[in-house]
Amino acid sequence: MSLSPDARRFLPALLLSVLVHALLVWRIPLSLPDREPELPLLQAKLEPLPSRPAPAAPPPRRKPKTQPPAPPAPEQLTTPSADQAVPDSAAAPADVAPVSAVAAAEPEMPPAPPATVINRTPPPLPRHAQLKYAVTLDENGLTVGEARHTLDIVDGRYSVKAVIRTVGLASLFKHVEYTQISQGAVTEWGLQPDYAKEIKDVDHQIQTFEMVFDRTGHTLNFSQGRAVALTDDAQDRLSLLYQLSRMQLAAETLPLAVANGRSLEHYEVQIDQQEEIITPMGKLLTLPLHKIHRPGEEGLDIWLALEYRLLPVKVIRTDRNGKVNGAVEISEIRLAD
């Protein structure tokens, strides 16, 4: 049966309408091609971090000598002698507290034990990384958005960008796009931001927050005109997710200083035991960190992947009433070194 010219003209429009209707009904996600080339998928797993080391035992008491050697000048320091037992965790010379010659010359008192190195050598940060996350309103809810992180480290400088946006049916009811940018130096202690920016776009109502970390003047300046004292360990909310792998993760708690766009918050996170979680990538062995907060304060939970360079693979935020108001879970990791 042949179609009339009018029917042939309207057939493509009819098929397109049916296709769009099917996509909406079955919630098939649509995404446009990325402008930046994608990095190779991370497939090879790294070894998990060693378990938390036991507290180092003090070195054995030195046997007294009949004629102790004369102590050198007070300003001179000596390293532990060969017969002193030094724990493996204190192997890094930079982290070992020097033993003064005066203390070593007094045999009746045991020398002070060297400082315990809590964190082993952390896995290297990738030079380039692209991470994708599924975003839900609660921990087990439907996916309402996606988040994409891009990390680049070049010539001792880092740049991280994160974009969270609603997708699928959720984007038809509410347009949300949240962009975070963090830039700074890569030091022996990890990431040290000097500039951060947050852009919130809700139904095209845009708010922008900028933060300048003045390391020389020890001041954190906010775009609203406020300035506060800047501590050496201060991070912004985005750089924090990648700085955690540089920190002492074998401790029980960690103090944090985090700039949120309006102020500099100081709090602690508790480090829990290893936990296996289910994500869109499958089962992952993780190290959970939970913000210690009082009733009426916002909560924050972060899971770092032990097998994937301690990258953040899950984040949950709770409101002041203890209700989950946002969760992201990793769906894809791409790295290039």
Whether residue 86 is contained in a domain is answered as no
The predicted model scores a pTM of: 0.68
Give the pLDDT of residue 1: 52
Whether residue 64 is contained in a domain is answered as no
Mean pLDDT over residues 222-227, rounded?
93
Of 89 and 307, the one with more pLDDT: 307
Of 102 and 315, the one with more pLDDT: 315
For the chain, the average pLDDT equals: 76
> 133 and 329 in contact (C-beta within 8 Å)?
yes
Report for 19-23, 78-82, 220-224: range of highest mean pLDDT: 220-224
Range of the domain at 174: 128-336
Of 38 and 132, the one with more pLDDT: 132
Whether residue 302 has pLDDT greater than 50: yes
Q: Residues near 232 by Cβ (< 8 Å), separated by ≥ 6?
A: none
Whether residue 178 is contained in a domain is answered as yes
Whether residue 154 is contained in a domain is answered as yes
**Phi and psi at residue 33, to the nearest 5°:** -60, 140
What's the distance, Cα to Cα, between the start and end of the chain in Å?
A: 61
> 326 and 60 in contact (C-beta within 8 Å)?
no
Give the pLDDT of residue 305: 97
Whether residue 143 has pLDDT greater than 80: yes
Q: How confident is the model at residue 207 (pLDDT cuts 50, 70, 90)?
A: very high
Give the pLDDT of residue 322: 86
Give the number of domains in the chain: 1
Distance of alpha carbon 329 from the chain centroid: 13
Distance, in Å, from the CA atom of 138 to the CA atom of 326, rounded to the nearest integer, reads: 6
Whether residue 56 is contained in a domain is answered as no
